[in-house]
Amino acid sequence: MIEIEVKVRLEHSKARSILKTIGAVQLGVESQSDIYFAAPYRDFAKTDEALRIRSLDGKAVLTYKGPKLDSVSKTRKEFETPVDEATTTQILHALGFSEAGVVRKKREVFSAGEITVCLDAVESLGEFLEVEIVAENEKELETSRAKLFELLKQFGAGEKDSIRTSYLEMVLEKYKD
């Protein structure tokens, strides 16, 4: 299974009316607070890995994301475990990991047929729309990407608007100086 995602900058007031027009169904709303950690022994920015604690609704999840496995999709190994947020942060600090950055966002999730649409309101960054589809295999990759961009067209967005930078990278870039 391959997850294909495309993210664009888009005002949510505009997105909402289009979601209504195309008959998308709202699945839920989450307030996510993601703390990303830096390892003391390798540079996750260079190795394209991420270690994160996501907190939502009083629950927390520790997630490891491995490097992207190819250059055309965002496919990557991902391992997740529910944890206690406070003590897991203490464990990571004790092991020498430090906080690299925090991404806080409100995520509204919609279903538009086989495509999942997220409206992300990211603290200090603004409003985004993310579309996602799950392909069964590599062969479907191109067809699936085409479907995503076909849907995005209805929101007035195209390939040139696609943002491959992660929210964490955008937050770090913003506060670099």
Shorter beta-carbon distance to a copy of itself: residue 88 or 144: 88
* Main-chain phi, psi angles of 90, to 5 degrees: -65, -40
As measured in angstroms, the least distance from the Cβ of 27 to a copy of itself is 24
Give whichever of 14 and 93 is closer to a copy of itself, judged by the CB atom.
Answer: 93
Is 41 among the catalytic positions? no
Cβ–Cβ under 8 Å, residues 46 and 31: no
Q: Measured between alpha carbons, how far is 75 from 55 in angstroms, rounded to an integer?
A: 23
Shortest CA distance to 33 belongs to which of 61, 64, 67? Answer: 61
Q: From 148, 165, 168, select the one nearest 157 (Cα to Cα).
A: 148
DSSP H or E stretch at residue 35: strand 25-38
> In one letter, which amino acid is 84?
D
> Looking up tokens 């520790």, which residue turns up?
62
Binding footprint of a copy of itself, residue count (CB under 8 A): 23
- Out of 29, 69, 72, 81, which residue is the one contacting a copy of itself (CB under 8 A)? 81
Choose one: 34-42, 98-106, 124-132, 169-177; the region binding a copy of itself (CB under 8 A): 34-42
Q: Which of residues 89-148 bind a copy of itself (CB under 8 A)?
A: 90-91, 94-96
Measured from the CB atom, the residue of 57 and 177 that comes closer to a copy of itself is 57
Would you name the residues annotated as active-site residues? Answer: 36
Residues that bind a copy of itself (CB under 8 A): 39-42, 49, 51, 62, 64, 66, 77, 79-84, 87-88, 90-91, 94-96
